[in-house]
Amino acid sequence: MDTCSGTPVSLTLGRHRIEGVLRAVGETVDMPAEAGHPARRLRNLILDFGPACAPVEVWLAEPPQPGPAVAPT
């Protein structure tokens, strides 16, 4: 996991918005998809919203990589 210098982030939940920073960028995982569809690649991020809450771990979809699709075996 790579630690970050604190890139600003915000989280909006309805009318509530909290500000924080990106603390770490982790590994990726490939989540299985339906048959005939490529797996989704997710990236792990750790967000720190300070006293508003505990650090939050999120998994965000990575953009598809260019190139031919690999068929499942």
Task: Tell me what pLDDT residue 16 has.
Answer: 92
**What's the Cα-to-Cα distance from 46 to each of 8, 62, 65, rounded to whole Å?**
12, 15, 23
Task: Tell me what pLDDT residue 70 has.
Answer: 55
pLDDT in tens, the chain (73 residues): 667 778 999 989 999 999 999 999 999 999 887 888 888 899 999 999 988 788 899 999 988 777 665 555 5
Task: Tell me what pLDDT residue 71 has.
Answer: 52
**Statement: the pTM of the whole predicted model exceeds 0.95:** no
Burial class for 30, CB neighbours closer than 10 Å (0-12, 13-18, 19+) = exposed
Q: Where are the domains of the chain?
A: 2-32+39-61
14: tokens are 């309805």
Task: Tell me what pLDDT residue 59 has.
Answer: 94
d(CA 13, CA 69): 36
